[in-house]
């Protein structure tokens, strides 16, 4: 998954983020120099100009950073879908499995866009905080000396220790939250038909199912957020002690001169901000468990995996019959499709007719097209427009006649829900298609 996020736009966004935070941190140095110049009677114009420039020029790299970040999100989504196409392409024997779809489909169709967007925003926020703290601490240490550096190092050690102590709890909360989140997203798939068709019975069942899964997700999510915020607050309270002690010593020590006290007062809001950012970094480190869990879910979704037993149907050859256009019976044991012609497969419910087509597609991935009874496959001729079932299938058949290369077309119950007029027209189009490739159809009538 790491390669998904490492794009040229990501690198450029990071470069401008680095520049942005460097300019932000420079304002701390200019502020300290300005305070020293005011109390020492020096020239205040250069540090004043530097301070004003640091407050205004920061928006220039920020514009480019956010522009490339937006492009990086799209590039990452495209890369992820490319990996899905490699890992999941042509597994028709699994594509109709409800268990397989529950595991993979929500991650690819909805979560991929959301998680990649969240991951980039999380990374941008985390890196901004880390760079801001690193640059500002460096600037403050240049202004105040090594004592402050040791105070911030102790603050960092305390923050890391508290984070490490609570990371196990955060990971468990994140895993539980992600599991319930996936179930809630999966339940949304039935919303369209349940709402738009308006069957009160089906709508009630769907609503009860969704509300139950949403309540479970809400409970796990609230618990995870509550624990996370409590840990962050505790980290802030503990980590503020070393820096506050150094600042208090500088302010109230009899050996401190007016220039030092002025610098402390001038930079005090920035130092409080840095401490708050350190707590936010701890918050991000703990939240990282949730982001990693979601990214891991995307990673698992883009490959078939090994736990596919029981997800495929079974072909019962003895319960199936196959005839060609002349009515001659074709044996299905060790069957290989001919170069051209039309074959019709019939059989009882549950005999494996559709499974036979899916298995043929799996064995002949190149130069073949399968049309399941229910699908959302995209065709150029029906991409736009509100068409009836007959009109849609008629256009698809006409489009298939021009597809190259094409050696095998698999049709699953294409005549379902068609009137005689449409059936006759499409039947003739299938005959035309069968003159240039092999067409195998599953039919009930």
Average of per-residue pLDDT values in the chain: 84
Instruction: Give the model's pLDDT for residue 312.
Output: 62
Is the pLDDT reported for residue 285 higher than 70? Answer: yes
Is the pLDDT reported for residue 81 higher than 80? Answer: yes
Higher pLDDT, 264 or 179: 179
d(CA 441, CA 435): 15
Instruction: Give the model's pLDDT for residue 417.
Output: 78
Q: What residues form DSSP beta bridges with 412?
A: 442
Tokens of 242: 């070393």
Instruction: Give the model's pLDDT for residue 272.
Output: 75
The confidence band for 329, taking pLDDT boundaries of 50, 70 and 90, is very high
d(CA 161, CA 23): 30
Instruction: Give the model's pLDDT for residue 427.
Output: 92
Is the pLDDT reported for residue 318 higher than 60? Answer: yes
- In this structure, the strands spanning 438-442 and 408-412 are parallel
Instruction: Give the model's pLDDT for residue 310.
Output: 54
Is the pLDDT reported for residue 311 higher than 60? Answer: no
Instruction: Give the model's pLDDT for residue 43.
Output: 83
- In this structure, the strands spanning 341-347 and 438-442 are parallel
Instruction: Give the model's pLDDT for residue 308.
Output: 54
Q: Could you give all domains of the chain from N- to C-terminal order, each with its CATH number? A: 2-301 (1.20.1560.10), 317-442 (3.40.50)
Surface-to-core class of residue 3, CB atoms within 10 Å of its CB (0-12 exposed, 13-18 middle, 19+ buried): exposed
Instruction: Give the model's pLDDT for residue 445.
Output: 60
Share of the chain above pLDDT 90, in %: 24
Share of the chain above pLDDT 70, in %: 97
- In this structure, the strands spanning 320-324 and 438-442 are unpaired
Is the pLDDT reported for residue 307 higher than 60? Answer: no
d(CA 20, CA 31): 17
**What's the rounded mean pLDDT across residues 413-419?**
84
Instruction: Give the model's pLDDT for residue 439.
Output: 95
Instruction: Give the model's pLDDT for residue 323.
Output: 93
**What's the rounded mean pLDDT across residues 21-36?**
82
pLDDT in tens, 165-222: 777 777 788 888 888 887 887 788 778 778 877 778 888 898 999 999 999 999 988 8
Of the listed ranges 62-76, 193-207, 250-264, the one predicted with least confidence: 250-264
3-state SS assignment for residue 376:
coil
**394 near 422, Cβ under 8 Å?**
yes
In 298-324, which positions are buried (b, 16+ CB within 10 angstroms) versus exposed (e)?
Answer: bbebbeeeeeeeebbbebebeebebee
What percentage of the chain's residues is helix, strand, coil (to nearest 5)? 75, 5, 20
Tokens of 220: 């796990």
Q: What is the DSSP letter of 329?
A: B
Is the pLDDT reported for residue 48 higher than 90? Answer: no
d(CA 416, CA 442): 11
Q: For the chain, give the number of residues.
A: 445
Is the pLDDT reported for residue 114 higher than 70? Answer: yes
The confidence band for 408, taking pLDDT boundaries of 50, 70 and 90, is very high
**What's the rounded mean pLDDT across residues 36-50?**
81
Measured CA angle at 260 (ends 256, 266), to 5 deg: 140
d(CA 238, CA 16): 33
**What's the rounded mean pLDDT across residues 153-162?**
76
**What's the rounded mean pLDDT across residues 151-174?**
77
Left, alpha or beta for 25 (phi > 0: left; psi -120 to 50: alpha)?
A: alpha
- pTM metric for this prediction: 0.74
pLDDT in tens, 343-399: 999 988 888 888 889 888 888 888 899 998 887 788 888 877 778 888 888 998 998
Please enumerate in sequence order all residues whose Cβ is within 8 A of that of 198, keeping only pairs 6 or more positions apart, or say none: none
Higher pLDDT, 3 or 246: 3
Higher pLDDT, 260 or 434: 434
Instruction: Give the model's pLDDT for residue 16.
Output: 95
For the ranges 149-158, 205-214, 236-245, the one whose mean pLDDT is highest: 205-214
Instruction: Give the model's pLDDT for residue 306.
Output: 60
**What's the rounded mean pLDDT across residues 18-47?**
83
The confidence band for 265, taking pLDDT boundaries of 50, 70 and 90, is confident
Instruction: Give the model's pLDDT for residue 346.
Output: 92
Q: What residues form DSSP beta bridges with 320?
A: 347
Please enumerate in sequence order all residues whose Cβ is within 8 A of that of 154, keeping only pairs 6 or more positions apart, or say none: 242
């Amino acid at each position: 998954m790491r390669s998904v996020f490492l794009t040229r736009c990501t690198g450029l966004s990071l470069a401008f983020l680095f520049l942005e935070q460097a300019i932000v941190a420079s304002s701390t140095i200019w502020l300290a120099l300005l305070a020293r110049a005011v109390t020492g009677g020096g020239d205040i114009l250069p540090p004043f100009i530097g301070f004003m420039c640091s407050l205004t020029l920061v928006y220039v790299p920020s514009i480019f950073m956010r522009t490339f970040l937006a492009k990086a999100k799209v590039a990452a989504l495209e890369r992820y879908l490319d990996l899905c196409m490699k890992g999941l392409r042509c597994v028709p024997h699994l594509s109709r499995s409800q268990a397989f779809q529950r595991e993979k489909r929500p991650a690819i169709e909805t979560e991929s866009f959301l998680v990649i967007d969240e991951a980039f925003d999380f990374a941008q926020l985390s890196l901004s905080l880390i760079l801001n703290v690193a640059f500002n601490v460096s600037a403050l240490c240049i202004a105040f000396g090594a004592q402050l550096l040791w105070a911030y190092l102790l603050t960092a050690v305390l923050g890391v220790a508290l984070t490490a102590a609570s990371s196990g709890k955060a990971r468990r909360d994140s895993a539980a939250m992600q599991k319930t989140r996936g179930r809630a997203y999966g339940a949304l798939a039935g919303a369209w038909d349940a709402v738009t068709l308006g069957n009160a019975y089906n709508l009630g069942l769907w609503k009860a199912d969704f509300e139950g899964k949403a309540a479970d997700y809400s409970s796990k999510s609230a618990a995870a957020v509550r624990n996370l915020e409590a840990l962050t607050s505790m980290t802030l309270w503990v980590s503020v002690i070393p820096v506050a002690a150094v600042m208090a010593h500088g302010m109230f020590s009899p050996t401190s001169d007016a220039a030092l006290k002025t610098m402390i007062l001038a930079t005090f809001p920035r130092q409080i901000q840095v401490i708050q950012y350190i707590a936010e970094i701890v918050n991000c480190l703990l939240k990282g468990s949730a982001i990693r869990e979601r990214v891991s879910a995307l990673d698992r979704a883009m490959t078939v995996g090994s736990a596919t037993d029981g997800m495929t149907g079974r072909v019962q050859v003895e319960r199936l019959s196959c005839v060609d256009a002349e009515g001659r019976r074709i044996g299905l044991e060790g069957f290989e499709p001919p170069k051209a012609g039309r074959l019709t497969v019939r059989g009882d419910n549950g005999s494996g007719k559709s499974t036979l087509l899916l298995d043929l597609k799996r064995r002949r991935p190149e130069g073949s097209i399968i049309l399941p009874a229910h699908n959302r496959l995209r065709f150029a001729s029906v991409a736009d427009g509100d068409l009836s079932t007959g009109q849609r299938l008629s256009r698809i058949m006409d489009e298939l006649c021009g597809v190259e290369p094409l050696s095998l077309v698999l049709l699953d119950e294409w005549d379902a829900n068609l009137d005689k007029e449409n059936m006759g027209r499409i039947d003739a189009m299938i005959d035309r298609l069968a003159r240039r490739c092999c067409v195998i159809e599953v039919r009930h009538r």
